[in-house]
């Protein structure tokens, strides 16, 4: 059994090598088509990782109780400093908060007329992660500390970013599904041409008792190999594109004080790309050969 599969695989490789120009064109088309959704997915993954290193991050405003004394403030600072999920924090006194509010909103005259400062002391907390669910969990935790009146999460920025990334992923999957159907149809047409060139051979084989599985196997290998080669081409296109883009991405990141660079496909993602491309080629070949064999049976009954 293994010897038969090896001979069939070798035959499929020889047929691909015997038509180098046609094989190159087919593999290039498959590679370009696959590189579009795979490249978009990679770009979104890089943007998601880059967002964790941005200076503009959602923050938690931790407001202290009016009667919280210096001891409570020192205890809160100790807890903030030792918390693993907190990246940075800064104290904003009530007088400083009123001054910033007056300057930022043109309320200086109104603030000057107030008998007392109504604003509380506060801490502005920046978390290590931008995940909204984790930040909300952190907000709930710190709001229960002694001396804390309430904690508010400025999550609008994070929610917008996550919504855009989710939308991008959804569009990527839709594009991938459409291109998958197109590749299956295209591979079916390619295999159909292969069948026509070997139609006499197939008919003779059927007349002497060859099974559908025996006839189908060489075409399945042919389709899977072309799909696999197309996946390798897509991988190469993405890798080269990432390197070319990194020339300008690095320069742009340096201007913002960052060392961000686009990363290529991870090993698992690359394996998924190659496996999917081979599977799409196999499906296209299977459908084309099955269609031919079905019509062959009808025409000979």
Q: What is the CATH number of the domain that holds 108?
A: 3.30.70.3040
The residues with which 125 forms a beta bridge, in sequence order, are 60, 89
- The pair of structure tokens assigned to 220 is 């399945």
In this structure, are 223 and 284 located in the same domain?
yes
pLDDT value of position 249: 74
pLDDT value of position 175: 85
pLDDT value of position 108: 45
pTM: 0.62
pLDDT value of position 235: 92
pLDDT value of position 106: 46
**Computed from CA positions of residues 117, 118, 120, 125, in that sequence, does the dihedral angle turn out positive or negative?**
negative
Domain with 9, as residue range(s), is 2-52+160-299
Number of compact structural domains in the chain: 2
In this structure, are 210 and 295 located in the same domain?
yes
CB of 275 within 8 A of CB of 202?
A: no
pLDDT value of position 105: 45
- The pair of structure tokens assigned to 204 is 């003779």
Nearest 5°: the CA angle 228, 224, 287 is 140
In this structure, are 175 and 40 located in the same domain?
yes
In this structure, are 202 and 240 located in the same domain?
yes
In this structure, are 172 and 150 located in the same domain?
no
Among 120, 138, 154, give the residue marking a domain's end.
Answer: 154
In this structure, are 168 and 281 located in the same domain?
yes
In this structure, are 272 and 295 located in the same domain?
yes
pLDDT tens-digit profile, the chain (301 residues):
566 778 777 877 888 788 888 888 888 988 998 888 888 888 888 777 666 555 456 788 888 888 877 888 888 889 989 998 888 888 887 667 556 555 544 444 444 445 565 578 888 888 887 777 788 888 889 888 988 888 888 766 666 777 787 888 888 888 888 888 888 888 888 888 888 877 777 777 777 777 778 888 888 888 899 999 999 999 999 988 888 888 777 777 676 566 677 777 888 888 999 999 999 999 988 888 888 777 766 665 5
In this structure, are 71 and 185 located in the same domain?
no
DSSP state of 159: H
The residues with which 127 forms a beta bridge, in sequence order, are 86
DSSP state of 19: S
In this structure, are 169 and 21 located in the same domain?
yes
């Amino acid at each position: 059994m293994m010897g038969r599969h090896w001979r069939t695989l070798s035959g499929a490789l020889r047929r691909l090598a015997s038509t180098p120009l046609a094989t190159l064109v087919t593999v290039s088309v498959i590679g370009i088509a696959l590189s579009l959704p795979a490249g978009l997915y990679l770009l979104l993954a890089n943007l998601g990782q880059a967002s964790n290193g941005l200076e503009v991050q959602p923050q938690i405003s931790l407001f202290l109780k009016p009667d919280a004394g210096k001891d409570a403030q020192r205890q809160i600072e100790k807890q903030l400093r030792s918390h693993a999920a907190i990246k940075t924090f800064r104290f904003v006194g009530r007088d400083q908060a009123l001054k910033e509010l007056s300057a930022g909103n043109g309320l200086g005259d109104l603030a000057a007329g107030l008998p007392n400062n109504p604003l509380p002391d506060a801490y502005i907390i920046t978390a290590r992660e931008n995940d909204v669910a984790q930040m909300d969990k952190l907000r709930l935790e710190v709001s229960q500390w002694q001396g804390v009146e309430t904690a508010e999460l400025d999550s609008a920025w994070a929610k917008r970013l996550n919504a855009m990334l989710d939308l991008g992923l959804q569009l990527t999957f839709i594009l991938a599904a459409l291109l998958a159907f197109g590749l299956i149809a295209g591979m079916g047409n390619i295999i159909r041409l292969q069948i026509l060139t070997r139609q006499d051979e197939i008919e003779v084989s059927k007349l002497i008792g060859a099974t559908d599985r025996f006839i189908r196997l060489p075409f399945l290998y042919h389709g899977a190999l072309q799909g696999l080669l197309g996946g390798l081409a897509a991988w190469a296109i993405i890798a080269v594109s990432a390197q070319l883009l990194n020339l300008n991405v690095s320069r742009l990141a340096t201007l913002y004080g960052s060392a961000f660079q686009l990363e290529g496909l991870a090993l698992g993602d690359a394996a998924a790309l190659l496996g999917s491309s081979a599977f799409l080629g196999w499906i296209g070949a299977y459908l084309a050969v099955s269609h031919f064999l079905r019509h062959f049976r009808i025409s000979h009954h």
